[in-house]
Structure 1
Amino acid sequence: MDFKIIFVNPMTVVINLLLLSTVTDAICILPPELRNTEWIYKYTKPDDNQPITTTLRIQNTVLPQQSSVRFNALGTTMDAWTCISNLTLSDTESVAVFKSDTSYSDGPFGGNRRLYLCMKFTKVTDNLFYFYLLSDVDNTILPNERVFNPPENSIPDDSDPLCSTFCQYTSEPKIRTLQKTGTTDVVPSDAALCTPCESPCEEQVIACPDLAPVNFTTITAETGTNYQDNITYACNTGYELKSGDLIRECLADESWSGSPPVCEIVACPDLAPVNFTTITAETGTNYQDNITYACNTGYELKSGDLIRECLADESWSGSPPVCEIVACPDLAPVNFTTITAETGTNYQDNITYACNTGYELKSGDLIRECLADESWSGSPPVCEIVACPDLAPVNFTTITAETGTNYQDNITYACNTGYELKSGDLIRECLADESWSGSPPVCEIVACPDLAPVNFTTITAETGTNYQDNITYACNTGYELKSGDLIRECLADESWSGSPPVCGRIIKPAKCQGRRRRRRRSVHLNTRRL
Structure 2
Amino acid sequence: MDVGTAVGLRSAGRTWTLGSRGICYLGIAAIAWVTRVEVGAWTYHYSDQGDYTWEQARNYCQTFFTDLVAIQNKQEIEFLNESLPFHGRYYWIGIRKLGGIWTWVGTRKALTKEAENWAVGEPNNRRSNQDCVEIYIKRQQESGKWNDEPCNRRKKALCYQASCQPFPCSQRGECVETIGSYRCECYPGFYGPECEDVVQCPKLEPKGVRMNCSHPYGDFSYNSTCVVGCQEGFERRGVGTLRCLASQRWSADTPTCTAISCPVLSTPDRGELNCSHLHGDFAFGSTCAFSCQTGFVLMGPESRECTVTGTWTGDAPRCQAISCPVLGAPDRGELNCSHLHGDFTFGSTCAFSCQTGFVLTGPESRECTAMGTWTGDAPRCKAISCPVLSAPDRGELNCSHLHGDFAFGSTCAFSCQTGFVLMGPESRECTVTGTWTGDAPRCQAISCPVLSAPYQGKLNCSHLHGDFTFGSTCAFSCQTGFVLMGPESRECTAMGTWTGDAPRCQAISCPVLSAPDRGELNCSHLHGDFTFGSTCAFSCQTGFVLTGPESRECTAMGTWTGGAPQCKAISCPVLSAPDRGELNCSHLHGDFAFGSTCAFSCQTGFVLMGPESRECTVTGTWTGDAPRCQAISCPVLEAPSRGQLSCSHVHGNFTYNSTCTFSCEEGFVQMGAEVLQCAATGNWTRRPPVCAEDGAVLKQVLAYSSGTALGVASLVLSGTLIALLVKRLSDREEKKKLLNPTSDLGSPGTFTNAAYNANL
TM-score, structure 2 as length reference = 0.27
Structure with more of its chain in helix, by fraction? 2
Higher relative CO (Cα under 8 Å, sequence separation at least 6) belongs to: 1
Structure with more of its chain in strand, by fraction? 1
Which has the larger Rg? Answer: 2
